[in-house]
Amino acid sequence: MDLYIALALQIVYGIANLVLISLGLAIIFGMMRVINLAHGEFLMLGGYTVVISTNAGVNIWLAMLILAPLVVGVIGVIVERVMIRFLYGRMVDTLLATWGLSLVLIGLVTTIFGAQTATTISPPIGAIQIGDFTSSGYELFLIGVTVVLSVLAYCALKYTRIGLIARGTMQGAEIASALGVSTSRTYAITFGVGAAVSGLAGGLLAPITGVLPSIGATYIAKAFITVISGGTAILAGTLSASTLLGGVNSVLSYITGPTIGEVGLLVVAIVLLRLMPQGITARLFRRSL
Amino acid sequence: MSTTRRTFLKGTAATAAVLASPGIIGKAAAADKIKLVSILDQSGGLDIYGKPMVAATEMAVDDINAAGGLLGREVELKMYDPQSSIQYYTQYATQAAASDRADVVHAGITSASREAIRPTLDRFKTLYFYNTQYEGGVCDRNVFCTGSTPAHTVEKLVPHAMKKWGKKVYILAADYNYGQIIADWVEKFVRDEGGETVATEFFPLDVTNFGPTIQKIQAAKPDMIWSALVGGAHISFYRQYAAAGMHKSVPIASTTYGVGNEHQLMSAEEGDGILCAYSYFEEIDTPENKAFVERFRARNGGAAAPALNELAVRSYEGVMLWAEAVRNAGSVDRMKVIEALEAPTMIDGPSGAIAIEPTTHHATLNTYIAQVKGQKFQVQETFLAQQPTDTMQVCDLKANPDTVKFYFENGLEAAGIK
């Protein structure tokens, strides 16, 4: 029984982990049809922000929950202003440009901080006991954060004026513009928010993963597959795709091993995209956010 | 553009000069400088291993030149950065052999990179040093593998850890040839010691979520974990394992932890207690090693210098072994140097005495077992002059000098080791 509870927690965490690493990418892709290949590096920068600021004596919670999204959000806005805004509507060009950006960021961070960084931060929450099993309390906290983040994103899009403008710009940029909305500002803010969410995710994952300049590469593929499988609806897409892919990955990893777990995730994604080329939300949950 | 006779002649003469010059320059340089080419990843995912190796190689060449060079000639170091891509390895190896006419090539971190360039350097008859700890089994007269192999490290650490912790072992390994073969060795040594391997799991290099495995470990209730995890993403395992409180109840032994300086990437709380075995630790308490560490730090930015580990020191000692052999041979001629190395050549390096084992072209070296404490290693046990007995079981270059084979390519069973 304890095993099943611990296992269920693990599956939920697998799903939450995917949501967390994909949400920033999904916001940018869903709103602006821009696929940000530097997404992994945004996560990495979030991690570095936390490591560096906690080493400088900042409280770890402050560093993870405030500083990481703030720093990476600002970087996101700068990137949008000097690079992305010239490339709207040119998907292949943005792919190439953001890929270049990711190489630049890896190179910069390596040059400044070296190929290895002393990560001396531990998870601020200890282990929890489930019968005979112990599980990471911090993972439980991450599940909670993911839920709060999803609810916040939903409410922001659904009930606030900014959310309305963002959705309007997403559906018809020209009409929104004709109604007096500054679409270019909306895009800049959206990109910044997407980057900030990525930074938050990177910061939150820093205490339980390695923080290295090249760590982004391990996230980008999974985030990319999740977002494409989910389709353009930001929340419904990310949540449904994460549940499916993360669930399959966790269960298969437990039954067979991580290699088959990873293969399973990819096979499901391929079959899914064969059946629904525009992603889950192009067929199901069509009117959702 | 119209071509007159004059411009045509000028053009061809210039082209001919350009085409001819590399040959002339190449020969002239070869006469006064000895060429050492190093191919090590300074960027991409493997840079955490490559950068300290590069720094150590540079230091070795500078040391040789500061002492007057070799045979009265300066040693010129040429470096290539293959960017963690196998494709560049083959390209640069060809360039080193065919265009640079290197007298020796020191190259390769992963086994995959070594196997990619070994045939090239064999074909061009260019002497090759592979200075990395690896799974053993390369048998090739042109190649010298100076790193430790499982017989040096795993064979010593398995009984040590089992005596300390118990007989049930759970193995985690990276999912490529190194991890697969090391897992085979661990299983074999555990069996030899009368222990039991309860499970073996392999992880692709980009896995960062180890949750399901941590639950499985708890269900299996082993006495210890054996980790052959590799690279930046796999550091997540140690951290998530600690976050789940498991590091207190089921301890970890490893012969990969630490060469990427993982012990400094993690907090003391997370890393304390992990047992490792290598042929070198920065903390080895000898005057020679202390002096070496101090000089290395002074050259590489003081406190910001990377911690020294087996990979870096093997790179230094590999170059020094080659240099000693050139001195003994009185020549840089490939066969003369190989014969001098087989004589055998031995040196005293920071890790202690190290000699070439002539039948396998591997190294006879000291092995150390150490435990992590406060982001440092504490040496627990020392084994002097250990032979590469794993490779010696399959390889004898004295009896069969024409062998060119990587015996453990398809696992131990295929090599006839039970």
B293 lies in the same domain as B396: yes
B77 lies in the same domain as B121: yes
Domain with residue B101: its CATH number is 3.40.50.2300
Averaged over A89-113, what is the pLDDT? 90
Burial, B164: exposed, middle or buried (Cβ in 10 Å; 0-12, 13-18, 19+)? middle
Instruction: Give the 3-state secondary structure of residue B255.
Output: coil
Q: Which of B98, B115, B108 is nearest to B35 (CA)?
A: B98
B122 lies in the same domain as B136: yes
Contact B179, B228 (CB under 8 A): yes
Window from A121-125, A149-153, A236-240 with minimum mean pLDDT: A121-125
Nearest CB partner across the interface for B204, out of A6, A250, A258: A258
The residues near B389 (Cβ < 8 Å, ≥ 6 apart) are B151, B155
- Percent of chain B at pLDDT above 90? 74
Reported ipTM = 0.83
Residue B269 has pLDDT above 90, yes or no: no
- Domain assignment of residue B67, yes or no: yes
pLDDT, tens only, B354-387: 999 999 999 999 999 999 999 999 999 999 999 9
The residues near B351 (Cβ < 8 Å, ≥ 6 apart) are B279, B280, B284, B289, B310, B313, B317, B365, B366
User: Cβ B212–A215 below 8 Å, yes or no?
Assistant: no
Q: Which of B109, B114, B101, B160 is nearest to B140 (CA)?
A: B114
User: Cβ A262–B207 below 8 Å, yes or no?
Assistant: yes
B124 lies in the same domain as B187: no
B178 lies in the same domain as B136: no
Cβ-based contacts under 8 A for chains A and B: 146
Looking at every residue in chain A, the average pLDDT score rounds to 90
- Domain assignment of residue B375, yes or no: no
Domain with residue A272: its CATH number is 1.10.3470
How many separate domains does chain A show? 1
How many separate domains does chain B show? 2
The domain containing residue B181 runs over which residues?
154-254
Residue B28 has pLDDT above 50, yes or no: no
Instruction: Give the 3-state secondary structure of residue B4.
Output: coil
B133 lies in the same domain as B54: yes
Residue B29 has pLDDT above 50, yes or no: no
B140 lies in the same domain as B230: no
Contact B371, B273 (CB under 8 A): yes
Contact B261, B239 (CB under 8 A): no
What pLDDT does residue B11 have? 52
- Domain assignment of residue B272, yes or no: no
Residue B82: both structure tokens together:
């293959």
Give the pLDDT band (50/70/90) at residue B411. confident
B208 lies in the same domain as B223: yes
Kindly identify which residue of chain B lies nearest to residue A249, measuring between CA atoms: B212
What pLDDT does residue B413 have? 82
pLDDT, tens only, B213-226: 999 999 999 999 99
Looking at every residue in chain B, the average pLDDT score rounds to 89
B410 lies in the same domain as B315: yes
Question: How far is the alpha carbon of A157 from chain B, nearest alpha carbon, in Å?
Answer: 30
- Percent of chain B at pLDDT above 70? 93
Kindly identify which residue of chain A lies nearest to residue B306, measuring between CA atoms: A116
Q: Which H/E stretch holds residue B15?
A: helix B5-32
Contact B341, B129 (CB under 8 A): no
A187 lies within 8 A of chain B by CB = no
A131 lies within 8 A of chain B by CB = no
Residue B57 has pLDDT above 90, yes or no: yes
User: Cβ B269–A122 below 8 Å, yes or no?
Assistant: yes
Residue B138 has pLDDT above 80, yes or no: yes
Give the pLDDT band (50/70/90) at residue B8. low
Residue B57 CA to residue B318 CA, distance in Å, equals 9
Q: Which of A40, A35, A18, A17 is nearest to A213 (CA)?
A: A40
User: Cβ B201–A250 below 8 Å, yes or no?
Assistant: no
Residue A173 has pLDDT above 80, yes or no: yes
Residue B16 CA to residue B282 CA, distance in Å, equals 53
What pLDDT does residue B20 have? 46
The domain containing residue A143 runs over which residues?
2-283
Q: Which of B206, B207, B215 to mutate to test the interface with A (most CBs of A within 10 A)?
A: B215
User: Cβ B236–A210 below 8 Å, yes or no?
Assistant: yes
Give the pLDDT band (50/70/90) at residue B23. very low
Which residues of chain A have a CB within 8 Å of the CB of B246? Answer: 127, 134
Q: Which of B40, B180, B239 to mutate to test the interface with A (most CBs of A within 10 A)?
A: B239
- Domain assignment of residue A227, yes or no: yes
